[in-house]
A and B are shown apart, each in its own frame.
Chain A
Amino acid sequence: MKTNKRAVTADMLVHLRKNQPRFEGIESGHRACLGCGEALAARLVTEAAGPEVMIANATGCLEIFTTPWPESAWRLPWMHSLFENTGAIAAGMEAALKAQGKPTKVLAFGGDGATFDIGFQALSGMLERGHNVLYVCFDNEAYMNTGIQRSSSTPHAAMTTTSPPGSERMGKRHLKKNILTIVAAHQIPYAATTSVAYASDLRKKVRRAMEIEGPTFLQIHSPCPLGWGHDSAHSIKVARLAVQTGLFPVIELERSELIGSMPIRHPRPVTDYLKLQQRFRHLFNKDDARAVEELAHIQALADHNIKHYCLDGEGMDALDSDGADTVRRGGMRWA
C-alpha cells in the first residue's frame, strides 16, 4: 500500500488555522453597530480566556447589545448588575468560587465610564484586596451608550455632546485620565494596555493575565465609529493610528513598574489620527488660532508619551516591525 506523505504547505497551515475549533465566548448576531471596536475586543478577550470563566459586566453598550431579553450573545456564565459595582460583583464571584474550591477565573468587563469614573471605587477596592480577577476596560473614550457624553477617559479637545466646541470651548478642556498608572499604583501583579488593532498583542496579554493569581487589569483601546465619527470600515485603521502616533501607548506594568512597550518605528503625526474623526474636526479650522494651538498641544502629548514610555522604535532592534507583532521587554532599561 502506498503511503502518501504530503508535504506541509503554507496553504495547509492557513487552512488548518482557519478551521481549527476556536472557542467563542460571544456569538455573532448581537446588536452592536457596524465597526464596533468593543464587540471585537470582547470577542478576542473571551477567545483567549477560554470557557472556564465567569463574567461580571457593567452597564454599557456591551451589556445592552449582547443581551436584549430573551436573547443573549454569551456562551459564558455572564452577569450584569449595575453600572458602578462591577469590581465588587466580580470580587464576590471570586470569593464564592474560592469558598467553593472551584478553579473558574472571574473576568470583569466595563467601559471607560464604568471604570475610570462611576465604578472606580469598586475597582480600587477589588484591586486593593487582591481578588483573583482580570478586569478588562473597553476604552472608547466617552459614554457611548447614553449618546456620547464626555468621561474622564475622553481625550483632550475631543468633541462630545457634553464637551461641544464653541466660541468659548475647544471640546474637552481636561486631559484623558491615566487610568493604567492609577490602577498599577495598587501594586497589582499585572496591568497593561492594548488595542483592538493588535489582536495578537491583545490575546497574548489576556493569556498572560489569566495565568496570574491575583488582580490584573487590561485597558483595550476600542474605537466607536458613532462616537468618534469615523467610517465604520476604518475602526482598525483608526485604532492603529492611535498607537502609531503615540497617543495611546501600548505598555505593560508589573507591580507598577514599566516592563514592556510596543515600539513605534515611525511615529505618525497626530493629525493623521485626528483628521479621520469627526470628534476632532473643530481642530482643523486653519483660521482658528485656538485650533492650531490645540493641535500642537496634542502633538506634544503624543511626543511626551513616546519619550516617557520609551516607545520610539527607530533603530532599536532588528525585529521591530512597527509594533504589529513585537512587544519589547525590559522597559525602563532603555530610558
Chain B
Amino acid sequence: MLKALEGSQAIAQTVALCRPQVVAAYPITPQTHIVENIAKLVADGKMDCELVSVESEFSAASLVLGAASAGSRTYTASASQGILLMSEVLYNIAGLRVPMVLTCANRAISAPLSIWNDQQDSMAVRDAGWIQLYCADNQEAVDTTIQAYRIAEATELPVMVCMDGFTLTHTLEPIDIPEQDMVDSYLPPFNFKRALDPANPTSVGTLVSPDFYSEARHSHHHALLDAADEIIAADNDWKQLSGRSAGGLLSVDGPDDARIGILTLGSVFGTLSEARDEYTELPPTKLIKLRSYRPFPVDALRHACAGLTELIVLERAISPGYGGIVSAEVQMALSGKPDMPRIHSFAVGLGGRDIPLDIYRKLHAAIKVPEPRAFSIIDVEPEKLPVEDHGIESANTDSNQQRSIS
C-alpha cells in the first residue's frame, strides 16, 4: 500500500523489516532522520534490536563490525565526513568479508563545508571493497535496502546503499513499504558461518606476510565481480515477490533508436527523465541508470551503449586534477568497442547546487562539438570565480560555445 513517507522514515521502517539485531550510528546531516526514526521504532517497541548510539562514526562502523563478527545482522548509516571518518573501518570490514548494510545519505565533503548533496563521500570509498548500489528514488532505496541484506549475506560482502541526501532522504514520496511476511520470506535469518564462537574458536584479522596478501586481494576482487550475479538474482526474486525491480546492475530507459545516452547515478535520473518529456524537440535520448557502481558492470554497460554515438556521463563528484571519476571507468569499459560512442564528462549539482530541468538542454548543447571537450563542471557560474583562477576566461569560452549552439 502506498504511503506518503519521507525517504528517511521509509528507510527506517524498511531496516526494521529486515530485523537487524544490532544498529549503531552517529548523527550527521542528512542521515539523522534515518537513525532518529529507528530510535523511535525501538523506543515504541516496534523494532527489537540493540541500538547503540556511539561516540563517532569510526565507532559506529567498528561496533557493527564487532557485532556482525559475533554473528548478528547489523545496520549503520552515515554521510560525508562520517563516511570519511569510517573509511579505515570500511576497508577493514570488506577485507574481513563481513556482511552488513550501510546507508550512505550522499553529501558533499568539506572544505568548504557543505551539508548538501553530491556523491563525493561514497566515491571517496569506492575502492574500500564494498558493493555500492545507487538509488534513483525512495522506492528504489527501500527495495534496495532489503535486497542489500540478501546480497551481503549471500556474498559475504558489505553493501553500501547510496541515496542522495535531502533530495531523497528528506523528500516525501508515495512509497510502498512491504509487509513483514514478504520480507521474512525473502530474507532468511542471518547465519554467518564464520561467526566467532567459543565452541569453535577461530582467529580473525590476522597478520599476513607478502606470501598471502596478493591472494587475499585477488579473492576479494573476484568476490566483488562475482557478486554481480547475486545482485541480478536478488532483484529478480524481489520483482517476483513485490512486482518491482530496483534496476539490477543498470537499467536503460528510452527509445531503441536513440543515438545519445546520458549515464547517471542516483536521483538526477528523475530530473533528466522529466526534462526529456519537457524538451521533446531535442534528439531521442537513452537514460542509463547505473545502480551497481561496485561491482562495475562492464558487460552490461557495453550492451547498454550499443547503438549510441554520444554518451554523456553525468558526475556528482570529481577527482580534482583529473576530472570525472565515473567517466574514466566508462571510457575504459567501452574502449576497444568498434562502435564506441564519444564520451562527454560533466559534473553537475556539486554541494547541493540545484539541478534544473534545463540541464538536459545544456547537456545536449554541450556535446555538439567537433571533439569531446575536457571534463568540466557544467553548472559553474563564471562571474563568481576569482580572476586569478582563470575561471572567467575558460567559463566564458564555455558559455560562448553554449550560446552559439543554443
Residues of A within 8 A of B (CB): 51-54, 56, 63-64, 66-70, 72, 74-82, 84-85, 87-100, 104, 121-122, 124-125, 128-129
| Pairwise interchain contact B197-A77, C-beta atoms closer than 8 A | yes
Among the 9-residue stretches B7-15, B51-59, B133-141, B252-260, the one with 4 or more Cβ atoms under 8 Å from chain A is: B51-59
Is the CB of B334 closer than 8 A to any CB of chain A? no
A-B contacts, 6 of them at CB < 8 A, read A69-B212, A77-B202, A81-B89, A88-B59, A99-B49, A122-B62
| Pairwise interchain contact A93-B69, C-beta atoms closer than 8 A | yes
**B10-63 at interface with A (beta carbon < 8 Å):** 21-22, 24, 49-50, 52-56, 58-60, 62-63
Q: For residue B20, give the distance in angstroms from its CB to the closest CB of chain A.
A: 9
| Pairwise interchain contact B58-A88, C-beta atoms closer than 8 A | yes
| Pairwise interchain contact A125-B66, C-beta atoms closer than 8 A | no
Partner of A96, one of B58, B62, B70, B209: B70
Report how far A82 CA is from B59 CA in the complex, Å. Answer: 11
| Pairwise interchain contact A51-B68, C-beta atoms closer than 8 A | no
In the complex, per-residue mask of B117-149: 1 if CB is within 8 Å of any chain A CB, else 0: 000000000000000000000000000000000
Is the CB of B113 closer than 8 A to any CB of chain A? no
Is the CB of B386 closer than 8 A to any CB of chain A? no
| Pairwise interchain contact A129-B66, C-beta atoms closer than 8 A | no
Partner of B203, one of A67, A84, A128: A67
| Pairwise interchain contact B201-A79, C-beta atoms closer than 8 A | no
Q: Which residues of A contact B74 (CB under 8 A)?
A: 92, 96
- Other contacts beyond A88-B54, A99-B49: 4, CB < 8 A: A77-B198, A79-B203, A79-B204, A96-B71
| Pairwise interchain contact A99-B50, C-beta atoms closer than 8 A | yes
| Pairwise interchain contact A95-B67, C-beta atoms closer than 8 A | yes
| Pairwise interchain contact B58-A124, C-beta atoms closer than 8 A | no
| Pairwise interchain contact B70-A122, C-beta atoms closer than 8 A | no
CB-CB nearest in chain B for A74: B203
| Pairwise interchain contact A95-B63, C-beta atoms closer than 8 A | yes
Q: For residue A334, give the distance in angstroms from its CB to the closest CB of chain B.
A: 37
Q: For residue A140, give the distance in angstroms from its CB to the closest CB of chain B.
A: 19
Are A96 and B212 also in contact (CB < 8 A) when A52-B198, A81-B89 are? no
| Pairwise interchain contact A51-B198, C-beta atoms closer than 8 A | yes
**B199-216 at interface with A (beta carbon < 8 Å):** 200-209, 212
| Pairwise interchain contact B59-A125, C-beta atoms closer than 8 A | yes
Report how far A129 CA is from B59 CA in the complex, Å. Answer: 12
Q: Which residues of A contact B204 (CB under 8 A)?
A: 78-80
Q: For residue A30, give the distance in angstroms from its CB to the closest CB of chain B.
A: 11
Is the CB of B105 closer than 8 A to any CB of chain A? no
Residues of B within 8 A of A (CB): 21-22, 24, 49-50, 52-56, 58-60, 62-72, 74, 88-89, 92, 96, 196-198, 200-209, 212
| Pairwise interchain contact A96-B72, C-beta atoms closer than 8 A | yes
Partner of A64, one of B24, B54, B203, B207: B207
Are A76 and B206 also in contact (CB < 8 A) when A89-B66, A90-B66 are? no
Report how far A125 CA is from B24 CA in the complex, Å. Answer: 12
Q: Which residues of A contact B212 (CB under 8 A)?
A: 69-70
CB-CB nearest in chain B for A80: B205
Q: For residue B50, give the distance in angstroms from its CB to the closest CB of chain A.
A: 4
Report how far A53 CA is from B59 CA in the complex, Å. Answer: 22
Report how far A199 CA is from B63 CA in the complex, Å. Answer: 32
Report how far A100 CA is from B201 CA in the complex, Å. Answer: 18
Q: For residue B149, give the distance in angstroms from its CB to the closest CB of chain A.
A: 16
Q: For residue B68, give the distance in angstroms from its CB to the closest CB of chain A.
A: 7
The 9 A-B pairs with the shortest beta carbon distances in the complex, nearest first, are A92-B66, A88-B62, A85-B62, A125-B55, A67-B206, A96-B72, A77-B196, A96-B70, A89-B66
Which of B22, B202, B208 has the largest count of A CB atoms less than 10 A from its CB? B22
Q: For residue B82, give the distance in angstroms from its CB to the closest CB of chain A.
A: 14
Q: Which residues of B contact A70 (CB under 8 A)?
A: 212
Partner of A124, one of B22, B55, B202: B55
Q: Which residues of B contact A124 (CB under 8 A)?
A: 55
CB-CB nearest in chain B for A103: B198
| Pairwise interchain contact B206-A93, C-beta atoms closer than 8 A | no
CB-CB nearest in chain B for A65: B207
| Pairwise interchain contact B63-A89, C-beta atoms closer than 8 A | yes
Report how far A79 CA is from B62 CA in the complex, Å. Answer: 12
CB-CB nearest in chain B for A78: B203
Partner of B65, one of A89, A121, A128: A89
CB-CB nearest in chain B for A92: B66
| Pairwise interchain contact A125-B54, C-beta atoms closer than 8 A | yes
| Pairwise interchain contact B196-A121, C-beta atoms closer than 8 A | no
Q: Which residues of A contact B67 (CB under 8 A)?
A: 92-93, 95-96, 99
Partner of B66, one of A51, A63, A66, A96: A96
Which of A51, A77, A92, A96 has the largest count of B CB atoms less than 10 A from its CB? A92
| Pairwise interchain contact B203-A91, C-beta atoms closer than 8 A | no
Q: Which residues of A contact B96 (CB under 8 A)?
A: 81
Which of B24, B65, B209 has the largest count of A CB atoms less than 10 A from its CB? B65
Are A68 and B71 also in contact (CB < 8 A) when A88-B66, A104-B198, A125-B54 are? no
Report how far A85 CA is from B50 CA in the complex, Å. Answer: 19
Report how far A124 CA is from B58 CA in the complex, Å. Answer: 13
Which of B68, B88, B198, B204 has the largest count of A CB atoms less than 10 A from its CB? B198
Q: For residue A182, give the distance in angstroms from its CB to the closest CB of chain B.
A: 15
Which of A67, A88, A128 has the largest count of B CB atoms less than 10 A from its CB? A88
| Pairwise interchain contact A69-B208, C-beta atoms closer than 8 A | yes
Q: For residue A77, give the distance in angstroms from its CB to the closest CB of chain B.
A: 4
Are A75 and B201 also in contact (CB < 8 A) when A54-B70, A80-B206, A96-B70 are? yes
| Pairwise interchain contact B63-A54, C-beta atoms closer than 8 A | no
| Pairwise interchain contact A92-B208, C-beta atoms closer than 8 A | no
Report how far A84 CA is from B53 CA in the complex, Å. Answer: 18
Q: For residue B70, give the distance in angstroms from its CB to the closest CB of chain A.
A: 4
Q: For residue A139, give the distance in angstroms from its CB to the closest CB of chain B.
A: 22
CB-CB nearest in chain A for B60: A88
Report how far A80 CA is from B209 CA in the complex, Å. Answer: 16
Are A121 and B21 also in contact (CB < 8 A) when A68-B207, A85-B62 are? no
Partner of A79, one of B52, B63, B72, B196: B196
| Pairwise interchain contact A95-B55, C-beta atoms closer than 8 A | no
Q: Which residues of A contact B68 (CB under 8 A)?
A: 92, 96
Q: Which residues of A contact B52 (CB under 8 A)?
A: 91-92, 95, 129
Report how far A95 CA is from B62 CA in the complex, Å. Answer: 12
| Pairwise interchain contact B207-A63, C-beta atoms closer than 8 A | yes
Q: Which residues of B contact A51 (CB under 8 A)?
A: 198
Q: Which residues of A contact B201 (CB under 8 A)?
A: 74-78
Q: For residue A171, give the distance in angstroms from its CB to the closest CB of chain B.
A: 31
Report how far A77 CA is from B195 CA in the complex, Å. Answer: 9
Q: Which residues of A contact B54 (CB under 8 A)?
A: 88, 91, 125, 129
